[in-house]
Structure 1
């Protein structure tokens, strides 16, 4: 095991490299965005290999992915296809016009049609599919919807109108699921509830769905308001791509007033340093990037970084914990972003979406706490 001194030195070196990268951000961001968009374009219409989550009720259900999911058949699995489409939309908003952006718009035009979305809804509504892609894929579908709703562009309005019926189907799944969810799901992979509640809440606020907003806020408070001493030293588990502790804290900043959140965070993560240190949380290590489960740790570094930034953003600028949160975020961002190279499809089909969520600071655009309308 590395000694604390060695870890501190390594973190300091990473921080120094991050500082240089940030100084050259204006030049490097277009290159990063082009790389991420290229990776998404490589998969959103790439049907195979494909891992379908699909219950067969008869021989008639044995169909290829494009028949089961006319819009979201690519990127190895349904949820990765959804957030691959979100990536294309997100970067279309930030990148200058080029052959890449034209290709992205063409892919979105081809996939996000009313006919294809009707096929997706038909899949959801068939018997035995009440839990399909719940909650992770549902959360990303709502994130795609929120992104399109925010963007004042004729293309976005066209795609938003196409997916609106599926947004309704997915938001209804939240409404039927959450009242029956007796306990939070505190894991670092797809079934985690905190991540899904956060993205669902962001969509509800953007869409003006006060009923769903109230349900999510109530459930988040019910689940987490009394949580204390989250065992972050136990993280990450060997296949995590979401931090249970940090994603919960990133959710709670959305549902608590600042004064309450400051106190809650002190009880929930009491060991955040006050001296600006970065080595209180070290990045996950991936020893085999071709292993689809082990490569999850590249994702946990990226999602930790955006959660740490989100947590810091919810604290007063005078809060002494902010420096350590942002220092750890910088370390994780550098390590995580460097891993997104597309060298292996095991990570290449999804990591660019996580990197884009981080580098475009999508999480920091999420509405903070607000009093619920009467």
Structure 2
């Protein structure tokens, strides 16, 4: 075993000009030459970077690696992250390990029932149709992010949690601000406090007058108000921004691959398969981290206890040892094992809902507006390189009346 070798000075984050759908430059070369490589972190920590599909799945499934933020180091500088990591609020599934994680996960899995997903599918279809009608009335030129990609998942997650959609202005901008990499620690704390306070009030209201929603259902458990508030915060944050960026970046990718767009328009029945390929192909979640709880041999090298391993999900999803011609968008390929929702015990809890939203939204959009196209040159579409979740800030589109 070896624990030495050249050290990568920083996580690659810069994309090649004209390649908005590809992982940052340099990751493919690392994957080919050193799929597990030493890497320096902004705080001086020396840990690791994983770029291959096989190693990514191995680490994500290994209980010897922890998600606890007080043990991990962050591969990009984020103001205030060190202070936030010292305390993990109870109920924050994404920041705790089994067995504590298992207890919360079991309770939440019971709320993501087949019945609720079916009901929400009908709601997604209704909400999507409403926004398509609004686009048609406004058109023929619009920002697809603001008019379509953002409001659909926002309204759906509000209905799931039992959050009045009319209250969204109280939390949506603050929640999105938390994903901005350039916000100060003070700004982050202010956003967190505002949203957390709102959800705390909502939890108390649900206890007093429960309705048919996820938060109300959880009030019948032994969870405390603090735990319920933190669970609501986690689900709201995940539901607002990730799916919105899959819809907008997915549409951008389809518009830049007209033969794939035509295939989906011709056969909406392939929507489920198409969404899996978009999840594989598009790098909206740039990385995830784990901390070694003990010495672990990985790919012939020694990862020591306390060292952070950063997994590049985009690089793993483009691994040619797993997928043939991985840098090509192919809606008909086999996408088995993609890491768009992660892997292991921390795989995305709301993945089925996210799938439904994208499966409904994209085919409905391209069939309602068959001449939909970019309203600006592709290189003028503003990319979210300043955000923790990648995508586009705006997607100006137009169509023929």
| Same fold? TM cut 0.5 | no
TM-score bucket of the superposed structures, by smaller chain: under 0.3
* Structure with the largest fraction of strand: 2
* Structure with the largest fraction of helix: 1
Q: TM-score, normalised by structure 1?
A: 0.26
**Structure whose alpha-carbon radius of gyration is higher:** 2
Structure with the larger RCO, 1 or 2 (CA within 8 Å, 6+ apart): 2
